[in-house]
Amino acid sequence: MSNEVALELKEVTKKYKKTNVISKMDLQIKNGEFLVLLGPSGCGKSTTLRMIAGLEKPSSGQILIDGQDAEKISSMERNLAMVFQDYALYPNMTVYQNLEYALKVHKVKKEERQQRLAKILETLNLTEYQDRLPGELSGGQKQRVALGRGMAKQSKIFLLDEPLSNIDVQLREKARDEIQTLHEENQQTIVYVTHDQLEAMALGDRIAIINDGKIQMIDTPDNIYNHPANLFVAQFVGTPQINILEVDVQTTQLVYAEYPVLTNSARLAKLSVPSGQLYLGIRPEHVVVKCKQESASELPAQVEAVIDYGRYQQLTLKLEEKQVLKAIITNNNFKIGDIVYASLAEDKILLFDHKGKNNLES
């Protein structure tokens, strides 16, 4: 069992000047797993990665690498490679020298070095650039060199700190596919930091969503999107953001303003929330927009904005009292100013308690 876990954080806390950047974080990463740390800037995800890399020391708690206490081994002995956000290529060395440098210092034999690097350069389509300096490369090429430098070490754990954030949007999709292919081929354990939820969804076996130095939820992309543990996760994942309405609990139904938006009393009974208010979350694609009111649960609204993204259209609907509801539709028949009726797909509705903001059904 224990050798299945590549990396483990036990109650890790990191303080800077008495404020907790990371608070008692527990985390297990399995051998060969692709784990994404996702969160807004300043949430502590980079600090977590840096502690794993040994670039920062936890204020308290333990980091275990392959079952060994990381504090007792140096950055090098942790047997890991890291790709930095700015790539951190040595500007005074060619692409080949960049890949070779660590191996050379650690006295890997010349023949083996050449073999290993030739294969990596080939895989990453860098062979023809091997004699260039980093300054002569494009962003995408630099990113591949940084990946290659990490691969050259053949370490068990691969840490990536927002590796795609400095390359052109158009190239990101390709670069992302490449990272995925590499992971499938080498089956390294990968810890990947990003603030981009689409990147996280596309890459991660599991995603750990971090906010305020705490893991808010750690699960598969599917569960994170469909069954978010709390309001933060629900709002952080998905663009446009999930719609949040404040609703009143009544015995057999949930009511927004005077509209009964949830009437499934069996579901409500399970909640064991006697009365008061809840947060209701509904993703824009589960808001159905109609021209005519067909049931009492549909909310009258005015179309405030229509954005055509080509594949789908996004409507901004204005309910009463400045409440805004966004909807994603695929056949647009609406114009700004239209009066419409929005119905919320009942089975897609998420419910969060008003105080703790946790998902009441997960």
Partner 1 sequence: MNKVKGSSWHILLIIICLVLLLPVVFMVSNSFKTLQDSYHSMLQIIPLHPTFSNYSTLGKQVDLLRLIWNTFFMATLVTLGKIVTGLLAAYAFKYFTFKGKKWLYFIFVSTIFVPFTVVMIPNYLVISKANLLNSALGVALPQLCDATGIMLFLKAMDKIPSSLIEAVHIDGIPSYKILKDIVVPILRPSIISIGAIFFINSWNEYVWPTLILKDKSSFTLPLALQNYISSEGGTNFPLAMALSTIMIIVPLLIYLIFQRYILNSISSSGLK
**What residues make contact with partner 1 under the rule CB under 8 A?**
53-56, 74-77, 80-82, 84-86, 88, 90-92, 101-102, 105-106, 149, 153
**Do residues 183 and 157 touch, judged by C-beta distance below 8 A?**
no
> What angle (nearest 5°) sits at the alpha carbon of residue 281, between those of residues 275 and 282?
130
170 binds, among its own copies, partner 1, none (CB under 5 to 8 A by kind): its own copies
236 binds, among partner 1, its own copies, none (CB under 5 to 8 A by kind): its own copies
205 binds, among partner 1, its own copies, none (CB under 5 to 8 A by kind): none
Quote the least distance from Cβ 176 to its own copies, whole Å: 9
Quote the least distance from Cβ 335 to partner 1, whole Å: 37
Of 26 and 86, the one with the shorter C-beta distance to partner 1 is: 86
Of 149 and 172, the one with the shorter C-beta distance to partner 1 is: 149
156 binds, among its own copies, partner 1, none (CB under 5 to 8 A by kind): none
Quote the least distance from Cβ 4 to partner 1, whole Å: 25
76 binds, among partner 1, its own copies, none (CB under 5 to 8 A by kind): partner 1
Of 54 and 238, the one with the shorter C-beta distance to partner 1 is: 54
Exposure of 266 by Cβ count < 10 A (0-12 exposed, 13-18 middle, 19+ buried)? Answer: exposed
In this structure, the number of other CB atoms found within 10 A of the CB of residue 356 comes to 10
Which among 218, 87, 212 has a CA at the least distance from the CA of 144?
87
Which among 67, 121, 116 has a CA at the least distance from the CA of 94?
121
Of 157 and 201, the one with the shorter C-beta distance to partner 1 is: 157
285 binds, among its own copies, partner 1, none (CB under 5 to 8 A by kind): its own copies
Quote the least distance from Cβ 161 to partner 1, whole Å: 9
Of 70 and 328, the one with the shorter C-beta distance to its own copies is: 328
β-pairing verdict for 34-38 and 189-194 = parallel
Chain-centre distance of CA 346, in angstroms?
A: 27
Quote the least distance from Cβ 53 to partner 1, whole Å: 6
Q: What is the DSSP string of 124-144?
A: TT-GGGTTS-GGGS-HHHHHH
CA dist., res. 100 & res. 98, Å (int): 6
Exposure of 63 by Cβ count < 10 A (0-12 exposed, 13-18 middle, 19+ buried)? Answer: buried
Which among 211, 202, 246 has a CA at the least distance from the CA of 229?
211
Type of residue numbered 324: V
Quote the least distance from Cβ 307 to partner 1, whole Å: 29
Quote the least distance from Cβ 332 to its own copies, whole Å: 9
Q: Compute CA distances 250 → 159, 212, 321, 361, whole Å.
A: 49, 34, 21, 18
169 binds, among its own copies, partner 1, none (CB under 5 to 8 A by kind): its own copies
Of 116 and 172, the one with the shorter C-beta distance to its own copies is: 172
Of 33 and 162, the one with the shorter C-beta distance to partner 1 is: 162
202 binds, among its own copies, partner 1, none (CB under 5 to 8 A by kind): its own copies
Positions that interact with its own copies (CB under 8 A):
40-41, 168-170, 173, 177, 180, 195-198, 201-202, 221-222, 225-226, 235-241, 283, 285, 305, 307-311, 314, 316, 328
Of 125 and 239, the one with the shorter C-beta distance to its own copies is: 239
Quote the least distance from Cβ 313 to its own copies, whole Å: 10
Exposure of 69 by Cβ count < 10 A (0-12 exposed, 13-18 middle, 19+ buried)? Answer: exposed
Rg over alpha carbons for the chain, rounded to the nearest Å, is: 25
**Do residues 217 and 238 touch, judged by C-beta distance below 8 A?**
no
